[in-house]
Structure 1
């Protein structure tokens, strides 16, 4: 408990700052930038930090990196399909590299990252429920920068970061669903208005009115919704 309590006390302030940002209604990008900035500040010896997640197209990408060095080191992993961060993500385990010049697990990545000036790294998975959402990593410019304390710190930090990333993902998913739903409801209303216009004008039932709209759309090579909108606009009385 003696060694863990300082970690808990240290992270308490960090996570309080995160919560304060969320409660103030900051954007998702600001939240993720705060996560990586705090990771670099909280874990001693770190020259940079970043999050690896999937982009909307399903490709691995680095988000909210604290600098270009992190993005370049990550890009090598994505190109190779291998590296400490990707291993942490896939295996859901903390991965530590004490000396890139001596580590042989990912030789190409180690060689190229070493050329960038990196000497050590530490990665932890972002796990929320049953989902592995990505990984958080910190890089150092000196060998042996990280030990068991830093591993514990990053794991605790990544647990909270995973919750934030999951919340951001849920928010964005809900927003996309909401936008589609609004568009769907608007389209349904426009079609109903257009059907009503045809029913009143041609004295036909709802089914016949819909077929008329569909035929008109096909003849004009337009979408049904666009045809309905054109009809609704043409029928509006001009304002005096």
Structure 2
């Protein structure tokens, strides 16, 4: 079999990883591989980073190739402007040929020039209708990125979007499972407390549940908390 190119190797890793319930560490490791491949294959790239959005749309750097990329990202978050945030907002690639002459984000441009960076190319992470973040490359040279750079970065952004979408789906599944377990535990303790009242007060199950609900409303406590108190009290009275 012919040796795989870096792009093919990365695509294979992502395809295998995204098919499983992914832990955050797995995603981070694969994103680090993506960043390494970006630096190896995108001409002119001196640094690379991946931004992800949280549930309310705030960006943070998930993986950065080095401290330079991390600091360049922080400049955008602090200023509230920059090519990465623009790519996210427009759902399209954003190119800065020379930060010294680009007038779109003046606060960001001052900071990034101080870092010695001149060119930036950002591509959004798009999965379905959702924008999950962006991947971007930085260069110390002006006019460092061309049409080939844009095509390659778009490919890598697609891979990163698959990873982030898989991670979020896994996290939602874990969250729902935890909620379900909690609901089942609450139901069990309420049913047990109802049985205690049926036996102790000689009432039917509907009346017992009404008694628990009344106690919960009167005390301002959740129903399962009141039920747990009834069950614990009954346990203490047992010889």
TM-score category of the 2 structures, normalised to the smaller one: 0.7 to 0.9
Q: 1:14 aligns with which of 4, 7, 10?
A: 10
Tell me the distance in 2 between the aligned counterparts of 1:211 and 1:181.
24
Do structure 1's residue 117 and structure 2's residue 116 form an aligned pair? yes
| Aligned-residue CA RMSD (Å) | 2.7
Residues 56, 74 of structure 1: alpha-carbon distance in 2 compared, 3 angstrom cutoff: same
Q: Report 1:72-151 matches (<5 A).
A: 72-151=71-150
2:192 paired residue number: 193
1:95 and 1:123 in contact (8 A); partners too = yes
Tell me the distance in 2 between the aligned counterparts of 1:131 and 1:116.
32
1:36 and 1:49 in contact (8 A); partners too = no
1:36 and 1:51 in contact (8 A); partners too = no
1:32 paired residue number: 28
- Partner-residue secondary structure (3-state), 2:64: coil
Q: Shift of residue 159 of structure 1?
A: 1.1
TM-score normalised by structure 2 residue count: 0.84
Say how many residue pairs are matched: 233
Residues 239, 186 of structure 1: alpha-carbon distance in 2 compared, 3 angstrom cutoff: same
Residues 48, 40 of structure 1: alpha-carbon distance in 2 compared, 3 angstrom cutoff: farther
Using CA pairs below 8 Å that are at least 6 residues apart, which structure has the higher relative contact order?
2
Tell me the distance in 1 between the aligned counterparts of 2:26 and 2:47.
17
* Further displaced range: 185-194 or 97-106: 97-106
Q: Deviations over 1:53-91 (max 9, x none)?
A: 222444222222333333322222223332111111111
- Partner-residue secondary structure (3-state), 1:61: strand
Tell me the distance in 2 between the aligned counterparts of 1:179 and 1:208.
31
Structure 1 unaligned runs (5+)?
1-7
Tell me the distance in 1 between the aligned counterparts of 2:202 and 2:173.
42
TM-score normalised by structure 1 residue count: 0.84
Q: Shift of residue 177 of structure 1?
A: 1.4
Q: Deviations over 1:159-189 (max 9, x none)?
A: 1211111111111112111111111121111
Tell me the distance in 2 between the aligned counterparts of 1:30 and 1:103.
38
Q: Shift of residue 40 of structure 1?
A: 4.0
